[in-house]
Amino acid sequence: MGVIYSTPRDYLQTIACSIKLMNFWLVKQEPSQYNWDQFVIDKETYWDGVRNYQARNNLKKMKKGDLVFFYHSVVGKEIKGIAKVSNEHYPDPTSDNSNWVVVNLKPYKPLSVPVTLDDIKNQLKLSNIALIKQSRLSVMPLTKREFKIILKMGNTKLSG
């Protein structure tokens, strides 16, 4: 016999708690250090070297399956593709300080058209995005709306 719920509200709360809400992120990387093409060749990497507390806290909030834009900083200044979190945070193996963490990322899909920083700055609907408001932050959250707008700008669909 299945579970019996006393009210429809109890049933809905149970379902709501069991659904994993996906988060959306953007990570920045200098292409001379590690670029999208190398990431695709590697098939997976851990995102190391983050030494900013706010960026570190964002890494800690990432969940397996979350989608992450891969942004080339300094040169190019554009979003090249989408990664997926494949392993949640653990101590950064490149640091002696256990406070610093990494997550594993796998390439998911390139953007059909890279989305430049200028494109983002010129999109009024993205005027509050962290990439503009906190430009020095290397790991940042995005809203679902921001993620969808950038996907559309990049002429990219997640399915199909």
pLDDT bucket at 13, cuts 50 / 70 / 90: low
* In-domain check, residue 62: yes
* In-domain check, residue 111: yes
Number of domains forming the structure of the chain: 1
* In-domain check, residue 1: no
Residue 137: per-residue pLDDT: 94
Who contacts 81 (Cβ-Cβ below 8 Å, separation ≥6)? 36, 39, 40, 69, 70, 107, 108, 109, 110, 111
The CATH number covering residue 114 comes to 3.10.590.10
Q: What global pTM score does this model have?
A: 0.86
Contact 25, 143 (CB under 8 A): no
**Residue-number span of the structural domain to which 25 is assigned:** 21-153
Averaged pLDDT score across all residues of the chain = 91
In tens, the pLDDT along 37-68 reads 999 999 999 999 999 999 999 999 999 999 99
* In-domain check, residue 141: yes
* In-domain check, residue 115: yes
* In-domain check, residue 14: no
* In-domain check, residue 127: yes
* In-domain check, residue 5: no
CA distance 142 to 160: 23
Residue 7: per-residue pLDDT: 67
Q: Is the pLDDT of residue 105 over 50?
A: yes
